[in-house]
Structures are given as C-alpha cells and as structure tokens.
Amino acid sequence: EEGGRAKVAERKKMWIRLSIATTEYQPFSDLLRVHGIIDEAKFDVGLHHTHVVEVRDEVELSATAAFSPADYDLLRQSEKASQQVNIALAMVETDEIVLFYITPRGLKEGATWTMRGGGKRGDIRQSSGIAATFRANVIKAVRASLSESTPLLFCGPGHAREALLNDFKASGDTRLIKSIATSMAGRAGANELLREGLAGDLLSEYAITKETTLLDEAWKRLSTNGAVAYGQQDLVRAMEEGAIETLLITAELLRTPDELIGGVQWSTWVEGLSDIGAELVQCSPDHDAGQELVGMGGAIALLRYAL
C-alpha cells in the first residue's frame, strides 16, 4: 500500500493445467465453461476450478484416448463454421414481424414486433399511415440491433415483406438484403426457408440447411413407411444388412458413454458406417428439426431400401 491505498492489481497471464470433469456451452454464445480440478499451476493445485474459454483464447488439449474420426469431422465442421457469418431473418406479416438469427448450426428467435389495432380495417389512408409508422419503428430497432455487415433476409407470404424491404432500402442501409417468398410466416416460415433451401447459395453451405433438409426427408419417409429406420433394433439390423445410406445422430448422443446400441457405445458403433459406405451426419439440437430428432431418440437413418 502507498498512502493508505492499495495499488491497482496487475493482471498477468498464466498457464494452468486442468483435468476436465464437465463442460457447459450456452447455445448462440461464444463462451465455453470448462469445469475440473487444477493439476498444475503456481497455486491452488488440487482445487476445483471453472475456466471460461472465449474466442481466440489459446488452449492446449490432450486426451488419454485418441480422438475418433467423428470427433475430427466435427472439429473440421466447426472450423468451417467459424468462417461463416450469422444471418438475420425477418419473418414479415402485415401486423407482426419476428426477427430470427441463423447460425451455421442453429436457429434462434430474437425480437417480435406487433402492430396492435389499425392497419386492417377502417379508413384506408389512416390504416396505411399506421402501417408505415409500424414499419419505420421496426426498421429503427433492427438497424440498432444488427451490425452493418450482417446480411438480412425478408421472408413471408403476401406483399408486406416487399413494403418493409423498400422502406429499409430507402433508409440508406447498404447491407446485403434479400426478399424471399414463403407460404408461412413466423417460426414455421423460418423452418420452410431452411427445409426447402429457399435462400439459395446464401445458406447452401450451412450445416443447419443440410441437417434440416435431411431430417425433413426422414420424416416424410416415416409417414409413408419408406426407406428409413429408427430405434436401436432397426438401426442395428440396417447396419448389419448394409442398408444405411445416411445416419443422422445428435452430436451429444454420439458422445454419451452411458448410451449403448447393440451392446457398444454409439461412438464405436458408428465406425461401422465406413465399412458399408454410409455417411454420418452429426446434428445440432439448436434448431427445430434437431429437437425433433432428440424426441425420436437422437438417431435416425435414411436407408438404401426399406427393411
């Protein structure tokens, strides 16, 4: 202390070695919480510690067992996804606009703006004025919440999205903007965009597009008793017969050691896919189709032929 006051603490970087027990990742964030016991450090060895890993942090990772091919595949996907930008999606109706965020592996609902009263009946001139004011308020809020480089899609049925698009361009915004017609609004319309590939090349390389499209095909085949299998018994049989063309499985199930199929861990079982020329697709639960997959037990296979 100097003059009765403590000096400002100086922050210094240091290395610690942590024996990892559990990890927690908050979807749609850039933070990974790693829990474990300190193995090596200048102090507090043997104590529990939670370390927060952020983007561009330097870490060294070692494991007692070798990474599986599925692990390397997911790491390569993550590296590719880090180069892809998040895209804003506005689902537009005359009296309601819902903003979504599309990430390479997820769909997150953001703000909702609703026009209460007016705009649907009564004096046409007055209704048009109310609608224009509503759009202006939405544009102001959207521009305040998005960075200038974030691409923005306007989607929905009818002409409301075109009116919003024109007003948005008139505001002087220079970001990439695209208008896409969907038959539905709201979250259903957002899923339609992903499922049908309506955004074209803009989202074609995103994992969420591939996962949603393949899972939708699985649901269609289920409804018609087509070439699809789910449940451990049918999946094991399909593997034995070499009938699996594409296996869709949640990344979490694949890495849960207590979950078994055919008496072995899922991570071991899926190694047989390469022997029959099948594709493994690790799905995220951070979009609606992924949540449906979780509800189906976490794994489903598109087959070469019906069993």
Sheet (strand 48-53) strand order: 17-25, 32-40, 48-53
Which residues in the chain land under pLDDT 70?
Answer: 1-11, 116-127
Predicted pLDDT at 34: 93
Whether residues 49 and 120 fall in one domain: no
Predicted pLDDT at 122: 42
Residue 275 counted as domain residue: yes
| Chain mean position to CA 238 | 29
pLDDT tens digits, one per residue of 162-181: 999 999 999 888 899 999 99
Whether residues 94 and 37 fall in one domain: no
Residue 180 counted as domain residue: yes
Predicted pLDDT at 67: 86
Whether residues 158 and 255 fall in one domain: no
Six-digit token pair at 294?
């979780």
3-state helix vs strand vs coil in the chain, percent to 5: 35, 25, 35
Buried b (16+ CB within 10 A) or exposed e, 49-68: eebeeeeeeeeeeeeeeeee
* Residue 170, domain CATH: 3.30.420.60
Predicted pLDDT at 214: 97
Residue 224 counted as domain residue: yes
Predicted pLDDT at 29: 76
Give the end of a domain, one of 142, 169, 204: 204
Give the end of a domain, one of 204, 237, 256: 204
Residue 128 counted as domain residue: yes
The mean pLDDT value of the chain amounts to 89
Domain containing residue 264: 208-303
Number of domains in the chain: 3
Distance between first and last Cα of the chain: 78
Whether residues 191 and 214 fall in one domain: no
Residue 251 counted as domain residue: yes
Predicted pLDDT at 118: 42
Residue 78 counted as domain residue: no
Predicted pLDDT at 9: 64
Whether residues 230 and 193 fall in one domain: no
Predicted pLDDT at 6: 53
Give the end of a domain, one of 204, 226, 258: 204
Residue 82 counted as domain residue: no
